[in-house]
Amino acid sequence: MTTQDAKNQPAKMWGGRFAETTAASVEAFTASIQYDCRLYRHDIAGSRAHAKMLAKQGLLTDDERDQILKGLDEIEAEIAGGTFVFRPELEDIHMNIEKTLVEKIGPAGAKLHTARSRNDQVALDIRLYLREESERLIELLTGLQKAFVKQARQNLGAIMPGYTHLQRAQPVLVSHHLLAYYEMFGRDRERLVDGLKRINILPLGAAALAGTGLPIDREFVARELNFPAITANSMDTVGDRDFAVEFLAAATLIQLHLSRLSEELVLWSSEEFRFVRLADAYCTGSSIMPQKKNPDIPELIRGKSGRVVGNLMALITILKGLPLTYNRDLQEDKEPIFDTVDTVSRSVAIAAELMANLSFNTERLLDCTRGGYMTATDLADYLVRKNIPFREAHAIVGRTVAYCIEQNKELPELAIEELRQFSDRIDEDVFPLLTVAGSVNSRRSAGGTGLERVGEALAEAERRLGCTP
């Protein structure tokens, strides 16, 4: 750039109509470069595709395009290498890159913004960013699912109490409990995959809000950037962040699932439960109580749900009441999005490590299935098979349990005569069903905890994840 050009270049890229310079307080208040610098690769990828399209359409010469591409390569290398100086007075990542390009290559650089606005540019950057992050999160979730499936395989056959209301309810296989999380994280993956359909649409070409009179080719840009479709309405395009809300909602569910898991791990690793042992490498100690081994990782995952839920609320609230089309409020989308991406992906990654390094105390788990009359439902089902209506059977078993409590006996410990006091339809064949193993294995209904069903579910999960048993 010549000195002449530099003098004529207004301080702000949009400064032509302004007589006064911007107040320093305003620059500080409006700048987003501190956080949107994270979008530099996406911004540059978008600019490359845009420049190629402009040249194809005769809006740039091939030489101008090549200068732009070379300049963008240099800028990308400088940012990646940490030598690029971000200037807060240039507001955001788009202006920082464009201004530096103009300083590097002069007039050709000043043509890059032809038929483009920061409004469609920023929409593009966020879509590219969320596409990448959704794909990364899908991979991380797969890793987490694998950790559950491996534990389910290792502990296949082990029995534990299943709970409702945190009261012992019915005995279940440990693997059945673990595969419940496999399902939850599977739905989370599906939600991200589905969201990609709506993220993966090219917004560029909407320009400020109304499209452009210049002869652009949006389909070309879409192909360059690997978008299967282009957005249909330019006004909707620059004001739309629905796809980001969907992403944050999907991410929130992931964090909620992790939080529920964390709650179980905190309980299960306590002296009161002693169901699992967390590996030392994944626990921390107390600065005052030498005996302590604390489950800080699950606690932090659980605690971080607060910010993830908050980020979703923030974005929803930002969008509420915005008139069409672009409003600067939308700049506030970025910090919640970035924070959720960071928090959720780190939480998923560490949860996968934690699960892979967890050991189950199978003896203790089995012990806890004794006591609590957890096979009472099995006795009721037995009576149903003997043609007693379920409600009546329920009452009979209720009286039997009351008798057990009084006699301080477990159901399988009752003699046949004792059982017959409550119903003469009870025969010797009831006893196998009153043991926890008998109870678990009788639950052969689809999706139930019977060993056969769980074995099938596990094999199917392994097949889907490509794990070898």
In terms of CB distance, is 339 or 378 closer to ligand ARG?
339
CB of 282 to ligand ARG, least distance (A): 38
Only one of the segments 132-140, 223-231, 263-271, 324-332 lies at the binding site for ligand ARG (rule: CB under 6 A); that segment is 324-332
Only one of the segments 309-317, 328-336, 416-424, 461-469 lies at the binding site for ligand ARG (rule: CB under 6 A); that segment is 328-336
Q: Residues 67, 119, 200, 345: which binds ligand ARG (CB under 6 A)? A: 119
User: Residues 13 to 32: which contact ligand ARG by CB under 6 A?
Assistant: 32
Token pair recorded at residue 349 = 């990654």
In terms of CB distance, is 147 or 330 closer to ligand ARG?
330
Residue 459 CA: distances (Å) to CA of 6, 186, 465, 467: 68, 15, 10, 9
8-state DSSP, 357: T
In terms of CB distance, is 320 or 328 closer to ligand ARG?
328
Calculate the CA 73 to chain-centre distance.
32
Only one of the segments 114-122, 191-199, 295-303, 304-312 lies at the binding site for ligand ARG (rule: CB under 6 A); that segment is 114-122
In terms of CB distance, is 119 or 259 closer to ligand ARG?
119
Site for ligand ARG contains 331 (CB under 6 A): yes
Q: Does residue 279 sit in helix, strand or coil?
A: coil
Asked if residue 325 has a cis previous peptide bond (ω within 30° of 0), the answer is yes
Please give the Cα distance from 341 to 344 (Å, whole number).
Answer: 6
Only one of the segments 48-56, 67-75, 326-334, 381-389 lies at the binding site for ligand ARG (rule: CB under 6 A); that segment is 326-334
CA nearest neighbour of 202 among 117, 125, 115, 94: 125
Site for ligand ARG contains 52 (CB under 6 A): no
Residue with tokens 């499936």: 149
Site for ligand ARG contains 98 (CB under 6 A): no
CA nearest neighbour of 97 among 108, 111, 84, 114: 84
Q: Which residues pair with 163 in a beta bridge?
A: 168
User: Residues 133 to 162: which contact ligand ARG by CB under 6 A?
Assistant: none
Q: Residues 118, 176, 241, 443: which binds ligand ARG (CB under 6 A)? A: 118
Q: Is 286 a catalytic residue?
A: yes
Catalytic residue among 32, 134, 165, 269: 165
- The DSSP element (H or E) to which 388 belongs, if any, is none
Site for ligand ARG contains 168 (CB under 6 A): no
Q: Residues 122, 251, 308, 319: which binds ligand ARG (CB under 6 A)? A: 122
Only one of the segments 52-60, 115-123, 155-163, 336-344 lies at the binding site for ligand ARG (rule: CB under 6 A); that segment is 115-123
User: β-strand 276-278 against 159-164: which pairing, if any?
Assistant: unpaired
Task: Look at the alpha carbons of 150, 155, 156, 160 in this order and tell me if their dihedral is positive or negative.
Answer: negative
Site for ligand ARG contains 337 (CB under 6 A): no
CB of 367 to ligand ARG, least distance (A): 58
* Packing angle, helices 93-105 and 62-81, rounded to 10: 120
Catalytic residue among 117, 259, 286, 359: 286
Task: Look at the alpha carbons of 165, 166, 168, 173 in this order and tell me if their dihedral is positive or negative.
Answer: positive
CB of 79 to ligand ARG, least distance (A): 17
Give the number of other Cβ atoms within 10 Å of residue 288's Cβ: 6
Q: Residues 159, 330, 376, 397: which binds ligand ARG (CB under 6 A)? A: 330
Site for ligand ARG contains 328 (CB under 6 A): yes
CB of 28 to ligand ARG, least distance (A): 14
Rg of the chain in Å (alpha carbons): 31
Q: Is 269 a catalytic residue?
A: no
Please give the Cα distance from 62 to 12 (Å, whole number).
Answer: 28
Give the number of other Cβ atoms within 10 Å of residue 211's Cβ: 17
Site for ligand ARG contains 92 (CB under 6 A): yes
Only one of the segments 54-62, 103-111, 195-203, 325-333 lies at the binding site for ligand ARG (rule: CB under 6 A); that segment is 325-333
Residue with tokens 């909602």: 249
Number of residues that bind ligand ARG (CB under 6 A): 9
In terms of CB distance, is 208 or 309 closer to ligand ARG?
208
Please give the Cα distance from 452 to 442 (Å, whole number).
Answer: 10
CA nearest neighbour of 108 among 76, 72, 84: 72
Contacts with ligand ARG by CB under 6 A lie at 32, 36, 92, 118-119, 122, 328, 330-331
Q: Which residues are catalytic?
A: 165, 286
